[in-house]
Amino acid sequence: MAEASRSEAAQRRSVLSGLSLANRAGDIAIAEVPIVQRFVLRGDAAQLEDIFGVNLPTEPLRAAGTVEAAALKLGPDEWLLLTANSAPLASALQTRVRGTASALVDVSHRNIGLDLGGQRAADVLASACPLDFDLTAFPIGQCTRTIYGKAEVIVWRTAAQAFHLEVWRSFAPYVVALLGEAVAGLPPAHAHVPASRQN
């Protein structure tokens, strides 16, 4: 009896299941990113440069890698490590970190990952985030902690028209709904010419 209970291993349930992600044919696509493991790495990167299979970026607010293994530098001594790889990494990473002037915290379940892509992706972000998402101001590879509406999010530009968002799990329904509002309320793509009539 007891053994039967114990053998029923708990399954992961995404906070996004059951939520509809806004999409608009042609110019906006929002999807969940299958990030399985996340770690916050703090401290001295010099000793841990290769810890995650990507070189830890040293320039502030820069990301390296892909969703298979990515490192986002979010603070002077802070990296967010993301991977879609499901083989458990926590204890191996902890072993590497132990004894260095660094610390690693498993936050795999704290966030959810969203991919926001399409021609109007930057405009969808601009709807509720005060940052400038022009490519010159926020180039590919840039990442930052910021806000979307009233929720804290991490925005990482993975391509000219693609952004990876990391959102705390309880804020995810809010952010998903707000993204939907943004899509519905987007201004026209480009200069629309004011009606003008000739005398």
Cα-only R_g, the chain: 20
Q: What angle do CA 15, 41, 11 make, to 5 degrees?
A: 30
Q: Does 145 bind other proteins (CB under 8 A)?
A: no
Per-residue CA distances from 149 to 47, 70, 124, 144, 162 (Å):
38, 26, 12, 15, 19
List the one residue from 45, 72, 111, 158 that touches other proteins (CB under 8 A): 111
Query: Which lies closer to other proteins via its Cβ, residue 54 or residue 167?
Result: 167
φ/ψ of 65, rounded to 5, equals 95, -170
Please report whether residue 199 would count as binding other proteins according to CB under 8 A.
Answer: yes
Segment 19-58, which members bind other proteins (CB under 8 A)? 40, 42-43
Q: Around Cβ 89, how many Cβ atoms within 10 Å?
A: 21
Does the protein bind other proteins through residue 195 (CB under 8 A)? yes
Options 24, 96, 110, 145; binder of other proteins; rule CB under 8 A:
110
* Interface with other proteins, residue 137, by CB under 8 A: yes
* Min separation Cβ 178 and other proteins, Å: 6
CA-to-CA dists, residue 199 to 40, 196, angstroms: 65, 10
Instruction: Burial-class residue 37 by CB neighbours within 10 Å (0-12, 13-18, 19+).
Output: buried
What gap in Å lies between CA 42 and CA 101, rounded to an integer? 9
| CA atoms of 118 and 53, how far apart (whole Å) | 29
Interface with other proteins (CB under 8 A), residue from 26, 86, 87, 130: 130
Q: Is 108 in the site for other proteins (CB under 8 A)?
A: yes
- Pick from 66, 140, 160, 169 the residue near other proteins by CB under 8 A: 169
Write out the residues near other proteins by the rule CB under 8 A.
Answer: 1-2, 5-15, 40, 42-43, 77-78, 101, 103-111, 123, 126-132, 134, 137, 149-151, 168-171, 173-175, 177-178, 181-182, 184-187, 190-199
